[in-house]
Amino acid sequence: MPELPEVETTRRGIEPHLEGRTITALTVRQPKLRWPIPEQLADWVVNARVSSVTRRGKYLLIHLPNGAVMIHLGMSGSLYMVSAEQPAAFHDHVDLVLDSGMALRLTDPRRFGSVLWQPLGESHSLLEKLGPEPLSSDFSAGYLQQRCAGRKQAIKQFIMNSQVVVGVGNIYANEALFNAGIHPKRAAGNISAERLSRFVDEIKAVLARAIEQGGTTLKDFVGGDGKPGYFKQQLNVYGRGGQLCNHCKSTLKEIRLGQRSTVYCPECQH
């Protein structure tokens, strides 16, 4: 599943091609995604000018004068720019055609993504309960301490809750916990303020590094497959269960938490 850095890289890749452009047509080949594409979507978007492309959590919002097209990539979705004349492949479900002659194309083999509409001045129900952005000042040590107080849930599951903070997916939760020296099963309410402060710093750092490294993939959004993939970075624990810890050379352990693979060092994380 694309995580926050991959979605942010997608936003940065497509925005220069959409901003200031007018949508001249909407082509929906498969309306049945995770939720049905609104039948009136063409009425709302055609002949509207794109003012900006923003991100909220893992949702991309294409802003128009009367609202925003809200896209989620789901498990397997991707967006890329193509010539409006380029024939669609089997899993190419939606095109937003622009006055430049290009089209923003959504491909989604598993159809867990979504294309929805948020009217101007309203907040879509899927966005209303989202926690703060992890790279914003709203996500602070004080905020996390307040949210963790008294909580018995394992910290890894707690931090991956989008109502606590958005976009800290499995890869980056594993890495930030390792960097902060926190055992993934430790109860959220049983971690000191000092360690939570370091955890916040490590979450911000690991996400910022991934987004920065994703910048080299931006060319792929035109004429490519639109998939930046998981960025080539030095992962300390994710995907390395059974291997040696880069720091202490102990064997990394792999367990399941919330049905997600979780890798940690039994010596470095407590």
Give catalytic residue positions.
2-3, 58, 260
**DSSP string for residues in the chain:** ---HHHHHHHHHHHHHHHTTPBEEEEEES--BSSSBPPTTHHHHHTTPBP-EEEEETTEEEEEETTEEEEEE-TTT-EEEEEETTSPP-TTEEEEEEETTSEEEEEE-TT---EEEEEETT---HHHHT----TTSTTS-HHHHHHHHTT--SBHHHHHT-TTTSS---HHHHHHHHHHHT--TTSBGGGS-HHHHHHHHHHHHHHHHHHHHHHGGGGGGGBTS-----S-----SSTT-TTSB-TTT-PBPEEEEETTEEEEE-TTT--
Burial class for 242, CB neighbours closer than 10 Å (0-12, 13-18, 19+):
exposed
Residue 110 labeled ligand binder:
yes
d(CA 257, CA 74): 21
Residue 34 labeled ligand binder:
no
Residue 91 labeled ligand binder:
yes
- Give the residue ranges of the annotated binding site: 91, 110, 151
- Give the residue ranges of the annotated binding site for DNA: 91, 110, 151
